[in-house]
Structure 1
Amino acid sequence: MANVSIDGDNLIVEIEGLDKLWALKSRLVIPLANVRGATADPGISRESKGFRAPGTHFPGIITAGTFHIHGDRVFWDVHDAAKAVVIELADKRYARLVVEVSDPRATVALVEGAAAAN
């Protein structure tokens, strides 16, 4: 699971627990200027992940880490697809962040509000 917050002009994604090990990341900092928007998307887990480099993927259990698909890098940290949020970026590192959060609606509202204010 991940904790998404706003700190000044940055979107902060903190990876929690053992997911730090599976994702090989503990924190992502993205300038709000590079955030296009966010959606709650429980169906995202059915999409192709591409190839992982580096990361972990056990279908139906966990998808975590960096995946490459169609020339884009996508960061994943999802166990429960029902709680997945997709954050679209205009960032040179990642095209999207797909993370599991405790409250998808609140996270989408937070990201959308911050992106609109920026």
Structure 2
Amino acid sequence: YEEKTRLADDVFAPAGTKAASHRSEGVFFAHGPTIDGSLEAGEPADLSVVDVAPTLLHSVGEPIPDGMDGEVRTELLEGDADPKVREPEPQAAAGSRGATSEDDVDEDFDDVEDRLKGLGYME
């Protein structure tokens, strides 16, 4: 969103050619029985979009999948609420395989090679 420093004469105006940006700034709102209502605007200052999913999962009592980016931001939660005092629970991601043997890796490479040959990328 483009920041304007003055009031516009028109309520509606052409949007221009800029449709989006890739800036990392954004807006975060949180509300609910376990959210700390004493936080001021801009707190916590280092909140990242990748922290939202693990924090949300933790706040509703769900485990956090292994490998999920971000971290549980307990400072957003009410001081004595269960999610604030409960440790985040890690969980193996669905469909993840544990340690694989060298044979499994070779089989995967063979499958990829067969698909690439079928598409004409390899002979």
TM range (shorter): under 0.3
Quick check: which has more Rg, 1 or 2? 2
Higher percent of residues as strand: 1
Q: What is the TM-score with the length of structure 1 in the denominator?
A: 0.21
Q: Which has the higher contact order (CA 8 A, sep 6+)?
A: 1
